[in-house]
């Protein structure tokens, strides 16, 4: 274990994480991209390859742990918020964009272990890769020290000013997490047109309104575009942001599975229908 720590220069990263690993092999695994694990596996007789696992399992665990700890922190910090408000701010804090920023702050990228081929491809600087690695490190922190080191890291690096900024945007009705802009950029990049938001229903008394909004792709020559998602909120702006957030999640999920289309999935249709019923 001492050799693992010395060879990998873990001291600097551990200082940034605020935790000294009792099992440094966990951190080593969290930093190992699948390209390197695959490369080592191709080397006949490579001793390291037999024991080296990539970080994807730790990423799965870290994603869940991070979501739990951020939810716990928000629950304690904002007792006046309802479930929808907590969900929206948590989504912003654990988003790929924010976690990539956190990874850059702690200098995670330079510790990422890549294959020689990917080393020259610029993969080390890609937001998706560093944010996924950050989640894997959260999983390693949890396995090595339990929830406390994860909580400490979340307080110092993930929450802070970012949580306060999202809270201010939530209170003001501003573009929380900028989901609408992110969706528009994504659709335009894929030549899917601009998103169109339509009010589906509103419910509740004046002091506690709930709005249901649907977002679609823009159709041609007056035709209706493909439905993407529906969202709810206490203002029209927040409902549109929620719809955009859900649409982004569905599109990312489709990409992760098979690069499928952007139409609303059967599961999402069922969920949206249930929301519309409850809102009416």
Joined together, the tokens standing for residue 91 give 């989504």
Cα distance between residue 79 and residue 184, in whole Å:
33
Which of 63, 144, 169, 214 is catalytic? The answer is 63
Which of 54, 85, 135, 214 is catalytic? The answer is 135
Determine whether 135 is an active site residue: yes
Determine whether 144 is an active site residue: no
32 torsion bin: left (phi>0), alpha (psi -120 to 50), beta (else): beta
Question: Which residues participate in catalysis according to the annotation?
Answer: 63, 135
């Amino acid at each position: 274990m001492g050799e693992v720590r010395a060879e990998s220069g873990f001291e600097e990263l551990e200082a940034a994480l605020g935790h000294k690993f009792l099992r440094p092999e966990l951190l080593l695994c969290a930093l190992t991209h699948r390209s390197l694990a695959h490369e080592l596996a191709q080397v006949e007789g490579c001793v390291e390859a037999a024991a080296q696992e990539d970080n994807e399992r730790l990423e799965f665990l870290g994603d869940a742990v991070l979501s739990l700890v951020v939810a716990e922190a928000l629950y304690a910090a904002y007792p006046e918020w309802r479930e929808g408000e907590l969900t929206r701010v948590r989504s912003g804090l654990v988003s790929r964009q924010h976690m990539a920023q956190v990874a850059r702050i702690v200098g995670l990228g330079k510790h990422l272990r890549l294959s020689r081929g990917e080393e020259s491809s610029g993969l080390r600087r890609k937001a998706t890769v560093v944010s996924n690695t950050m989640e894997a490190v959260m999983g390693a922190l949890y396995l090595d020290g339990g929830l406390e080191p994860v909580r400490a890291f979340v307080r110092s690096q993930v929450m802070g000013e970012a949580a306060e900024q999202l809270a201010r945007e939530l209170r003001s009705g501003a573009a929380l997490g900028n989901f609408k802009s992110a969706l528009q950029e994504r659709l335009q990049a894929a030549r899917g047109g601009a998103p169109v938001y339509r009010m589906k229903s509103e419910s509740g008394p004046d002091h506690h309104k709930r709005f249901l909004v649907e977002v679609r792709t823009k159709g041609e020559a007056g035709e209706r575009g493909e439905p993407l998602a529906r969202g709810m909120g206490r203002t029209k702006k927040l409902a549109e942001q929620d719809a955009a957030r859900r649409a982004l999640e569905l599109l990312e999920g489709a990409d992760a599975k098979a690069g499928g289309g952007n139409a609303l999935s059967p599961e999402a249709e069922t969920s949206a229908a249930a929301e519309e019923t409850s809102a009416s």
